[in-house]
Amino acid sequence: MANLEAKNKMSVAQFGLFLTAVMFGTQIIGLPTKVVPQAEQFAWVSVVLSGGLYFIAVWILMKLGEIYPGQDYTAYLPQLLGKWPGLTVVAAVLLLLVVFVWVIFNQFSRGLAFFMFDRTPYDVIIMGMLGVVIYCALQDLGTIIRITQFTFFVSTVMMGSIWILGLFNFQPENLLPLWTDKPWGIVEATFSTWGVYGGYEIILLLFPVINRTKGRLVLALALAIGFVMLISFVVVIITIGVLSVEGVKNESYPVLVVVRSVELPGTFIERLENYLLIAWIPSVFNTMAVLVYAIGQTLSRVSGFADHRPWILAVTPVIFLGATLLDGMEMIKVADKMVNWLGAVLSLGIMPLIYLLARRSERRRMSGAG
Amino acid sequence: MNGGGCQVRDKGRISGILLVIIIAMISSGCWDQRELQDRNFVLAVAIDAAEAGEQPGQSPAAKANETFAQPHGEKRYRLSQQVLRLGPARGGGEGQQDSGGGQAGGRTYVLSNTGQSLFEIIRDTLGQSSKPLYFEHIQTIVISEAAVQQAGLKPIVDFFLRDAEMRWRIKVFITPGEARKILEYVPPNKDAGGIYLANILRNHVKNIHVAGTRTDLGNISVMLGNKQDLIIPRLDMADNIVKSSGVALFNKDKFVGYADAQAVAGIKMIRSTEKSAIITVPGDKADEVVAFELFMHDTKLAAHVDGDQIYFTLDISMTGNLGEYQAPGQIKGAADPDFIRRIEVKTAAEVKRIVLYGKDTCQAAGCDVLNFSAKLKAHHPQTWAKVKDRWDELFPYIPLVVSVNVVIAQIGEHR
């Protein structure tokens, strides 16, 4: 009988789904708060533009992987850039993932505490979620893939069904006028959406395990980014349509308020925002389990360990401390901004430069070999 | 060997069972659970000015009990909470006060307290309550005109918008009288008052005189955020009769006056928020009455800019039935096509009159609850950018050109 847990390769389609599950969900709740104050009723344009932008970013990471087939970024970056500059870039990616996990844990615990467990300390919520996340991240890649596939479908279907009820209160005129005197705001908002797509960096690590004999990877990436972009687009449109631009600016959790504004007549189902939060939990779990797995794998490969599990256990207190030490609204805002800009700079600045360098060095190698 | 294998399996099983029991014990229920009967459910809140007056026969000592030592600021509001009495409704007694401050026979009782911060008032009211006050099921907020005139609407609703226990769809009323009295009202069907009051507003779909669309707490929040003028349904109580009719008009968050039931009908028609309506017109003779029941409508309000002139057009197309025809002294059918046509024309004229009455009422109060500014901003943003600072001056003089078409599709079962 085949061992379903031992799996070191995944198909292109599986990777596409896996990537979607990693990117989707965590930032959806906070997305309108990030983009609407800057881009106002054109926030949907920023979301579409950022989808295109981060597709280019992930495409570059894929092309980089193609130049070094069979190797992940911890192997080829030191080769290409030299040991220490290469390790510095690896460290930057690692830092990005760690801070991103802190921010997600923190925002998750705050949202959950505010709406569902108002007397529960954030630390307790973080501890509970961290326990299951670490347990998942300690597993083999095959197990993690199966868990994310299952939870992704459950979470997405449930979130979508609840969320779409917001259409009851939708007013198209809130999306007007189709005119703005602040076009720069749209550009600014475009660059502040890294978190929505954040997590695609796992391709740097997992590229060698993608079995590319069947299916087109570029199409899978486009579909993954396209799905997240489409959901983000719908979320932004409905949120503005229900709450108006100024309404969104005034709410801490506008996405939840949209669901909160739904009154289902004659039913005993009330407080729909709590159901949305419950559906959101598996989605956050997916993202964090894979990100923690990626952190552990990166550390084990850099340090020459064969097993990622000791590193997962080693980073657990770092994750817990970081997430709990992000205390106070100002600090969370700074961490969120930092992770956003670090992600954008790495994906849209440093990685494209590395790709150009890799192509030049490949051409030289080819011409030398020729 | 086999015996050893069995022992190992048994140990494994026992460990598994123990693990399941431990997990079941630690994961069942909430660690901060509180049973239903251990909560006091607040169903409605009334906000009066602090000096709204003592209760009849209330002693100075009792009055002193309904307040607390405040470190700073003045006593601004009296907040009363209608609490659900768990258990069967009490029978009998009309108008009798029970020990809880409510009227005997009701399913609720009322607790009051005065202070400045509404949150502080609520927490201090726990000094009068044996159980924590729980707001997850609050249905209604009644604010007195006197309270809202003190500092505007925004300071009052702020707490309710900020607290996660509150609902987005809480029904809000303004009353010209004392708000607490309305919480003490015992509905004839002995329903809990807060639910009864909220359900009155849900009838807005059938009653054109009740403004219930986009007037809930959440809608008020959005309008305040957009610095828009807004309406809140008016609620009156006299001799144990409560009625919602008319609206309170707000310029941003400042109370500016009331509009009557006819104006509400006009406002709803302009905003296209009416679902149904009964429109009465005279028949062929002066003493005849014909009632048109609106079933469907297609309403389009459009902003137009012609040079410096801003004006609006309202095109209404209504379809409905002839619901009633009173023709005293004669037995006459209503099926005559010419008669129906005449009634359609009269109904259209009546709708136009109601619309213009609503518009004139709002313009006289300087309160743009007709969506004029929102339409102008959405469809003529450059014009809006030019006039937005002067909109309050311009609004009272903005013309509205109304065109109404009415179709009577049915005359009912009786011809």
CB-nearest partner of A176 from B167, B202, B378: B378
Residue A356: inside a domain: no
Burial class of residue B51 (count of CB atoms within 10 Å of its CB; 0-12, 13-18, 19+): exposed
State how far the Cα of B314 lies from the Cα of B64, in Å rounded to an integer: 56
Please list, residue by residue across B199-236, b when 16 or more beta carbons sit within 10 angstroms of its beta carbon and e when fewer do: ebbeebeebbbbbbbbbbbbbbbbbbbbebbbbbbbbe
Task: Name residue, tokens 């475009």.
Answer: A190
Q: For the complex shown, is ipTM > 0.90?
A: no
Q: What is the mean pLDDT of chain B?
A: 87
User: Tens digit of pLDDT for each residue in B179-192?
Assistant: 999 999 989 888 89
pTM summary value: 0.88
Question: Does A118 lie at the interface with B, CB-CB under 8 angstroms?
Answer: yes
Q: What's the domain count of chain A?
A: 1
Res B1: pLDDT: 44
Decide if B382 touches A, using CB distance below 8 A.
yes
Q: Quick one: A351 exposed, middle or buried, by C-beta within 10 A (0-12, 13-18, 19+)?
A: buried
Tell me which of B153 and A119 has the higher pLDDT: B153
Whether the CB of B163 is below 8 Å from some CB of chain A: the reply is no
Phi, psi of B94 (to 5 degrees): -95, 135
Which of B164, B169, B379 comes nearest A177 by C-beta? Answer: B379
Partner A contacted by B169 (CB < 8 A): yes
Model pLDDT for residues A280-322, shown as the tens digit of each residue: 999 999 999 999 999 999 999 999 988 899 999 999 999 999 9
Q: State how far the alpha carbon of B114 is from the alpha carbons of B76, B79, B123, B255, B263, in Å.
A: 7, 6, 11, 22, 35
Q: Which residue of B has its CA nearest to A257?
A: B168
Of A179, A244, A265, the CB nearest to B226: A244
* H-helix segments, B250-336: 261-271
A93 touches chain B (CB under 8 A): no
Q: Given this model, what pLDDT does residue B27 score?
A: 61
Report residue B299: phi and psi, to 5°.
-120, 130
Which residue type is seen at A248?
Answer: V
Q: What pLDDT does B53 receive?
A: 59
The answer to whether A249 contacts B225, with C-beta atoms less than 8 Å apart, is: yes
Residue A91's pLDDT is: 96
In a domain? residue A68: yes
**Residue A364: inside a domain:** no
The DSSP bridge pattern shows strands B77-84 and B108-115 to be antiparallel
Closest CA to B263 of B411, B164, B364, B348: B364
What residues in A contact B384, CB-CB < 8 Å? 177
Report yes or no: A110 at the B interface, CB cutoff 8 Å: no
Q: Is A274 on the interface with B (CB under 8 A)?
A: no
CB of B113 within 8 A of CB of B121? yes
Q: How is residue A340 written in tokens?
A: 């956003």
When CB atoms are compared, the residue of A173, A244, A260 closest to B168 is: A260
* Mean predicted confidence (pLDDT) in B218-225: 94
Nearest to B276 by CA among B285, B286, B284, B268: B268
CB contact, 8 Å: B300 with chain A?
no
Provide the pLDDT for residue B195: 92
User: What residue type is B371 in one-letter code?
Assistant: N
A235 to each of A29, A59, B94, B396, how far by Cα in Å? 9, 25, 52, 38
Closest CA to A259 of A274, A244, A249: A274
Contacts of A261 in chain B (CB under 8 A): 168-169, 218
Q: Establish if B93 touches chain A: CB-CB under 8 angstroms.
A: no
Does the pLDDT at position B54 exceed 70?
A: no
The reply to whether A184 touches chain B by the CB within 8 Å rule is no
List of chain A residues whose C-beta atoms are within 8 Å of the C-beta of residue B225: 244, 246-247, 249-250
**pLDDT digit string (tens) for A205-224?**
999 999 888 889 999 999 99
Q: Are the Cβ atoms of B225 and A177 closer than 8 angstroms? A: no
Within the 239-258 window of chain B, which residues sit less than 8 Å (CB to CB) from chain A? none
Residue A238 lies in a domain: yes
Q: What range does the domain containing A148 cover?
A: 12-350
Which residues numbered 50-89 in B keep a CB inside 8 Å of some CB on A? none
Which residues of B are less than 8 Å from A265 in CB distance? 202
Q: Choose among A114, A120, A250: nearest Cβ to B221.
A: A250
Kindly state whether residue A367 falls inside one of the protein's structural domains.
Answer: no
**pLDDT tens sequence across A55-104:** 999 999 999 999 998 899 999 999 999 999 999 999 999 999 999 999 99
Chain centroid to Cα B189, Å, comes to 21
Residue A368 lies in a domain: no
| B379 close contact with A: CB closer than 8 A | yes
CATH number for position A80: 1.20.1740.10
Predicted confidence band of residue B19 (pLDDT cuts 50, 70, 90): confident
Question: Is residue A351 within 8 Å of A96, Cβ to Cβ?
Answer: no
- In this complex, the residue of A120, A173, A247 whose CB is nearest that of residue B222 is A247
Q: Considering only CB atoms, which chain B residues are within 8 Å of A176?
A: 377-379
Q: Which of A179, A247, A265 sits opposite B226 (nearest CB)?
A: A247
First-last CA distance in chain B: 97
Task: Dig out the tokens for A3 from the structure.
Answer: 């061992």
Question: Which residue does chain B place closest to A258, by CA atoms?
Answer: B168
As a whole number, mean pLDDT of residues B71-91 equals 82
Cβ contact (<8 Å) for A117 and B32? yes
> Is A112 within a domain?
yes
Q: Within a domain: residue A363?
A: no
> How close is the nearest chain A Cα to the Cα of B414, in Å?
33
What's the gap in Å between the CA of B167 and the closest CA on chain A?
7
Listed in sequence order, the residues at least 6 apart from B16 whose beta carbon sits closer than 8 Å to its beta carbon are none
Q: How many CA atoms lie within 13 A of A134 on its CB side?
A: 19
Asked whether residue B89 carries a pLDDT value surpassing 70, the answer given is no
Angle (nearest 5°) at CA B212 between B207 and B216: 165
pLDDT tens string A156-173:
999 999 999 999 899 999
Mean pLDDT rounded to a whole number for chain A: 90
